[in-house]
Structure formats: C-alpha cells, structure tokens
Amino acid sequence: MVTSLYVLELEPGEHKHAKWYVGITKNVEQRMSDHYGNSMVKWVSQNEVVDYIVVGEWNRTQARQYEDDLTALLMHEYGWRTTRGGSWTDPYRPGIPDRNFSDVSGELIRALADTDHEGLLRLVEKYPLFSYRNSVTDGRVDHDLKVYEDTKESAEEAHDVLENRIGADFHEYDVREAIFIAGMYNLDQAEELLRQWSADGELKGKDSDSEITLE
C-alpha cells in the first residue's frame, strides 16, 4: 500500500510563528479528518489548519525519508519556529536540523513543483538543479582527476564562495563540473598556467603567480 506525504498549512495559534506541519499517512481522508477535528498532534492542535497539500505517494520507507527532508527544507527556508513534522514533532524543541541539501532528491523537488503551491514553490526555486534528476550522479560518467593538496584546498574554498554567492547548497560534483566547464571557456588562463609550469619545471597550483582570487 502506498503512503502519502502531505503538508498542512497553519494559521498561528499558541505558536505565533507556526506555518507548516509535514506528515505521512496511508489514508489521507481519515488523517485530514483527524487533523481538522481534535488532532492528536500537539503542533497541529495548538494552531489552526488552513489547508492541506498532498505532495505525492511512495512506499513507506521513501515517504518517511521525504517527510524528514521536507520538514528540514521548510525549517531552513522559513525558520525552525514555523515547521514541525517527521523526526521533529516536539513543539518546543529549538534549533534547525543540521542538514545539507546538496543531494536532495529530484523526485521530491518535482513533486513539490507539481503542487503549484506558492509556499512550496519557494523550495523548488531554491534548488532548481534537482528538478530534472533523481540523484547527483544521473547522467554522469567517471572522470578521474588527481590534484595537488593546495588545488584541493582552493576548490573547497571556491565551493564555499559559490554557495554563499548563490545562497544554496550544491553537491561537490556540481561545483566541480561548473568550475571545469568554466575553465574550458577560459583557455587563455589555462595556457598561461601550463606555460608557467613548463618554464618552472613544477606545478605550483594556487601559489603560482597566476593565483585566482576568490571573493
């Protein structure tokens, strides 16, 4: 039997920042009847249900994973005081789950897009790369690349800089490929580095005269 992933849109009651509750169920009609009545979920009963959105149907294991993923996504986007669900149901538990969304499932993002709900579409807009793939390895082939330690450190720094500029998490595969492609569009600089390395008789990586400044 399939399990449905759903989101309740809430009007703040006891918790003035309340906005969302994320859950799963095998019977949407019965579950909504419970929520709109005398809900056993404290977060729901202490606030007012305005609407509900069924995000999609999966097997129970996958639905439970997406329940946690979506709860964490909403907390990160709207603030931890706005959302409960999945593994975070305690109304008084503070803090945002320590999660990295660089490998969030494209299947979940596409399902959120299909809801056409303004509040959920904000998540789709924030993670556009994942709307067309199920995993970060989809369509990719192995391309081994050995680098020196200082180059590796520069790549990690560049990763952080790019995420800060864009305001979203990206998998290292995505960042690495973006930098790789950008490099192919800047062959003059690659040529300069190769000529310098040839003249010096060694690879100097980020400590060379052609060091790239990351901002």
Q: Identify whether 137 is part of a domain.
A: no
Q: Identify whether 76 is part of a domain.
A: yes
Q: What is the pLDDT of residue 206?
A: 45
Domain that holds residue 16: 3-130
Model pLDDT for residues 81-104, shown as the tens digit of each residue: 999 999 999 988 888 887 767 667
Task: Name the amino acid, one letter, at 94.
Answer: P
Q: Identify whether 140 is part of a domain.
A: no
Q: Identify whether 138 is part of a domain.
A: no
Whether residue 109 is found in the same domain as residue 158: no
Whether residue 50 is found in the same domain as residue 155: no
Whether residue 95 is found in the same domain as residue 154: no
Whether residue 155 is found in the same domain as residue 202: yes
Instruction: Give the chain's domain count.
Output: 2
Q: Identify whether 213 is part of a domain.
A: no
Q: What is the pLDDT of residue 135?
A: 66
Whether residue 18 is found in the same domain as residue 106: yes
Whether residue 15 is found in the same domain as residue 118: yes
pLDDT at 209 over 80: no
Distance CA 214, CA 190 (A): 17
pLDDT at 156 over 60: yes
Average pLDDT (168-173) is 81
Distance CA 97, CA 80 (A): 8
Tokens 């590796």 found at? 152
Whether residue 121 is found in the same domain as residue 155: no
Task: Name the amino acid, one letter, at 145.
Answer: L
Q: Identify whether 195 is part of a domain.
A: yes
Average pLDDT (50-79) is 94
- At 208, the pLDDT band (50, 70, 90 cuts) reads very low
Average pLDDT (140-164) is 87
Residue 215, CA atoms < 13 Å, CB-side half-sphere: 1
Whether residue 182 is found in the same domain as residue 89: no
The pTM (predicted TM-score) of the whole model is 0.67
Whether residue 162 is found in the same domain as residue 82: no
Q: What is the pLDDT of residue 173?
A: 85
